[in-house]
Structure 1
Amino acid sequence: MRTILIFISLLLISGCAYRAEQAPAGSWQAQKQQLTKLEHWQLAAKLGIITPDERGSLSLFWRNNSDDYRLNLTNVVGKRVFDLSRLSGRIELIDSEGQRHTADNARDLVYRLTGWDLPVEQLADWIKGLPGNADTVSFDQDGRPALVQSHGWQLRYLGYTQIDQLWLPSRLELSHAGTTLKLAVSRWELNP
């Protein structure tokens, strides 16, 4: 009887070890390479911004093509807040008055013109569920990122949706130094 119990225990342990090595189908670990290679996508979302001085709700449209992107923010009545783009390394922001501004760093440019601390350079990865060079990452029960600490930012992934066999974030919350961003994705398109 004791030999049978030891044998069953060994089978259970080896079964657990095997499952731990294999990422669950559809999990971030199993899809990390695909997500890293995903360079052409677009999404539409609602973005809530909370700072010590203001609260706002905006519509966000993001189109990504490799290293280039276009990020468009509009208010609730559809008026442009700003268009931010990167094309061949050149970063340009068109403000609500149609004025063009350029800089070497998108985050600094947005902060200078709006007072909002938006981690634009990291968002392209974070929005796909890739923690990038995070300090710490904890995962949900399906192996997807749930909580990420990265260079003073805290990301909480609050929901995922499956698009073309990939699990992509549908809701996330980012916070850093008094700024909170809440993103609710309404539409993903891959390789548009």
Structure 2
Amino acid sequence: MKSFFRVLAAIVPLLLAACVPQKLVRNQGDAVSLAQQTAREQQLANANHWILQGRLSVSNGKEGGPGTLTWVQDGDHYDFTFRTPIVGKSFRLTGGPDGALLEGVDGGPMQGPSAEALMRRALGLDVPLDELRAWVLGVRAQGGNAQLSFGDNKLLSSLQQDGWEVTYPTWDTQHQPPLPKTVFADKPPYKVKLAIDSWSLQ
């Protein structure tokens, strides 16, 4: 399955040029910031149907590369389509509580009990997709303590949870509640960078 990364690593990483990290303001948060974050999380508590389109880069510390992502979340079921436009390859990860299916890799489709287990076996990635489902919305994942920092705009600047540091350089304040425009998740040696071009919450 290493060819997956060889293909991606050959692509010039211009797709994420807009994602160059800014210097983040990190405040522990006053009562206003914490109250605003709690209100956002309550508003998004039932947000489990959406379509997200953006640009994604994933690395395991040795190999990786960028491409475009369409993420369709339909309750407990998900459909990720990752495309590498320059070489015209695409990879699709679908599934839910009953298991996951990865298409587009060498050797034909692969199945696994969960998206996390399948990505680990097929691509050597240890990415917590269940947690990312919360983090991409800019909220804390359930089941673990989180340390929060805020920017001058009172919106989340960084979130540390389950050994990952998730940072939010930019936000789309046209949405109510505001939604992240860029999300970086880092747990050495793994790195995930996502620039969100459009949100469609249903």
State the 1:163 CA deviation: 4.7
Written as runs of structure 1 = structure 2, the 5 A alignment for 1:3-152 is: 20=31, 27-77=36-86, 78-80=88-90, 82-87=91-96, 89-97=98-106, 99-132=108-141, 133-152=144-163
Paired residue secondary structure (1:166): coil
Larger radius of gyration: 1
Give ranges in structure 2 of 5+ residues lacking alignment: 1-29
Deviation of 1:128 after TM superposition, in Å, equals 0.5
Determine what percentage of the aligned residue pairs are the same residue.
26
Moved more, 146-155 or 97-106: 97-106
Contact preservation (8 Å) 1:135, 1:148 = yes
Answer yes or no: is the 8 Å Cα contact 2:55–2:195 preserved in 1: yes
How far apart in 2 are the matches of 1:171 and 1:60? 13
Q: Structure 1 regions of 5+ residues with no counterpart?
A: 1-18
CA–CA distance in structure 2, aligned partners of residues 97 and 154 of structure 1 = 32
1:142, distance to aligned residue in structure 2 (A): 3.4
- In the alignment, the residues of structure 1 paired with residue 55 and residue 96 of structure 2 have an alpha-carbon distance, to the nearest angstrom, of 24
2:164 to 153, 156, 164: 153
Whether 1:172 aligns to 2:172 is no
Q: Give the number of the structure with larger relative contact order, counting CA–CA contacts within 8 Å between residues 6 or more apart.
A: 2
Moved beyond 3 Å, runs of 4+: 19-24
Give distance in 2, aligned partners of 1:167 and 1:185. Answer: 13
Higher strand share: 1
Provide the aligned length of Structure 1 versus Structure 2.
Answer: 170
